[in-house]
Structure 1
Amino acid sequence: MDQNKITQLFGIKYPIIQGGMVWTSGWRLASAVSNAGGLGLLGAGSMYPNVLKEHIEKCQKATDRPFGVNVPMLYPNIEELMEIILKRGVKIVFTSAGNPKTWTNYLQGHGITVAHVVSSVKFALKAEDAGVDAVVAEGFEAGGHNGRDETTTMVLIPSVKERIQIPLMAAGGIATGRAMLAAMVLGADGVQVGSRFAASIEGSSHNLFKEQIVNAKEGDTHLTLKELAPVRLLKNKFYNDIQEAYSKGASTEDLKNLLGRARAKRGMFEGDMVEGELEIGQVSGLIHEIKPASEIVDDLILEFNKAKEEIRNL
């Protein structure tokens, strides 16, 4: 595969970024993806500072290739996380869920490449104005926390491409090489893949959650809790409890109480498939097997190249 803006920016072989997902993206997954030629990301959103430090150190021992850290900027201990990232010599940071102006200049001043995750053209322009090195535009299909505008990847990518000059990665609904090619035809320079890597052997989430992903069918996920922070999750008892609360006219406070604390950890990491919050994308309906991360990368590239050749013959 030819080098492009994303491979050159991050120093990687393939323009494939593994999403920094909570409870899933530990050092085993990040290092495996980086060793396979993509860019692995540690998901700092579910890590205490000392846990992030441990994962960075283990990732550095497991790979000599570039990897990064995804940092949701709403994290309460973000100053501690950033200090650890600097001290441990991490060179790539993906920020999300907040104002990119807060940390971009500071990180770049310490030699760190910064990408920011957005869900709309408006926020892509703000990220570019903040000076980030690249943008991830994530469509409404994506798992986990999502944008309020509900713009699909197929609409979002060309809309963002039309307005920004910096490198662009597409996210949301990308689990195959064909989807990767489609995103790049729409204007993306690379892709960020989450759900497909969530169902990997190296993913740090519970095996019961991985099995739920591969057993999911079309329509088994839904975007809900928009009054708090929109989140796409698998339908289970917890999801049904949310729907019942809505039917009874639940207030924002009622929904907060229902959600409680550590609901995603309970489901994705501890394996409670009944009461846990199971964050995953719509594309889970296309994921049928738990595989090593290296095979997932190989499959993406193989199918990407095959689809590219088929298009040439049209």
Structure 2
Amino acid sequence: MKGNRLCQMLGIERPIVQAPMGWIARSRLASAVCNAGGLGIIETSSGELNTIRAEILAMRGLTDRPFGVNIAQAFVRDPGIVQFIIDEGVRFVTTSAGDPNRFCSALKAAGLTVFHVVPNLAGALKALEAGVDGLVVEGGEGGGFKNARDVSSMVLLPLVRAHTDKPIIAAGGMLCGRTMAAAFALGADGIQLGTRMVSAAESPVHDNWKQAIVEAAETDTLFLNRHGPGPALRALRTERTTRLDREGSPAIMAEFGRAMDLYFGGDMEAAIALSGQVAGRIDGVRPVKAILDDIMEEYQQVVAGLPG
């Protein structure tokens, strides 16, 4: 997008970033996003660094465009992960689920661009003080692991923008050209897609999960484990998550013990299917390029049609 500073900073054509979802955000999906003009992100939250190394190598053969890697700090098992990323020649990193001071200095000293994911103003201010290059501002509408005191994107984006002039990527509730135009009006420079990418044709998850997203209503996600112990999270409504919503869980992460049976086996009750509220607006499984093409076309139409 001409004149967009996020595009200029990251060397991409479209200010659209793919969320770094564990086991999902790998070369097949990330390269499709890159080749469509956005920014694909490779995950490390699975903790499978040998596999991640292979996925980064695969990216080199699947795309010649920039891509990034996420460090989900709560799941880091290898203290050498920063050097690992530096050695792999990655130039853009998002950090999340932890203190932005933990890795920011080392990454920036190596010349990488660093954005930190924040769920509230306090987190944003801490990340800015740590010296990040930009922020991923994540509203409570989004899927995945969340801050227990969730704030909607409509409130959070302009609040954070009032405190910084650094680039902002809006996450949570982002789906289409209309939501991108709204995010830009609220102060963002780009958007991040999670649930829409889970349901994309190139997503590696089982078709049962994709179809559950397509069939979901806007009310078919649940905000689980708000009072702990462990992280809060937003997920699709299933028998399992309905029970967890009603009864709670003494160890929410144990509910992911059979994650592979859900992700790639299609058993929707085997674990927790993370999803954002935008599942209620997704009506089909589509290729990544078609998704990004439609976003940009609708964005232009919406902006051109705004009153005044």
Whether TM-score is above 0.5 comes out as yes
Instruction: Give structure 2 stretches of 5+ with no counterpart.
Output: none
Q: Secondary structure at the match of 2:137?
A: strand
Q: Secondary structure at the match of 1:70?
A: strand
Q: Secondary structure at the match of 1:30?
A: helix
Q: How does 1:1-314 map to 2 (within 5 A)?
A: 1-226=1-226, 227=228, 228-246=230-248, 254-256=249-251, 259-311=254-306, 313-314=307-308
Aligned-residue offset at 1:60: 1.4
Q: Secondary structure at the match of 1:68?
A: strand
Aligned-residue offset at 1:164: 1.6
Q: Are 2:256 and 2:272, in contact at CA under 8 Å, matched by a contact in 1?
A: no
Q: Please identify, of 200-209 and 254-263, the stretch whose mean Cα deviation from structure 2 is larger.
A: 254-263
Rounded to whole Å, the distance in 2 between the matches of 1:260 and 1:276 is 6
Rounded to whole Å, the distance in 2 between the matches of 1:147 and 1:78 is 24
Q: Are 2:255 and 2:272, in contact at CA under 8 Å, matched by a contact in 1?
A: no
Rounded to whole Å, the distance in 2 between the matches of 1:184 and 1:204 is 30
Identity %: 37
Q: Secondary structure at the match of 2:169?
A: strand
Rounded to whole Å, the distance in 1 between the matches of 2:252 and 2:203 is 30
Q: Secondary structure at the match of 1:100?
A: coil
Match of 1:250 in 2: none
Amino acid at match of 1:277: I
Count of matched residue positions in the alignment of Structure 1 and Structure 2: 306
Aligned-residue offset at 1:270: 3.2
Q: Which runs of 4+ in 1 moved over 4 A?
A: none
Aligned-residue offset at 1:263: 4.6
Aligned-residue offset at 1:229: 0.6
Q: Are 1:3 and 1:13, in contact at CA under 8 Å, matched by a contact in 2?
A: no
Give TM-score scaled by structure 2 length: 0.95
Q: 1:19 to 1:261 in 2, by over 3 A?
A: closer
Rounded to whole Å, the distance in 1 between the matches of 2:253 and 2:61 is 41
Rounded to whole Å, the distance in 2 between the matches of 1:176 and 1:24 is 21
Amino acid at match of 1:283: V
Q: Deviations over 1:52-105 (max 9, x none)?
A: 101100011111110001110112324243332111101111110001111011
Amino acid at match of 2:254: L
Amino acid at match of 2:133: D
Q: Secondary structure at the match of 1:115?
A: strand
Give TM-score scaled by structure 1 length: 0.93
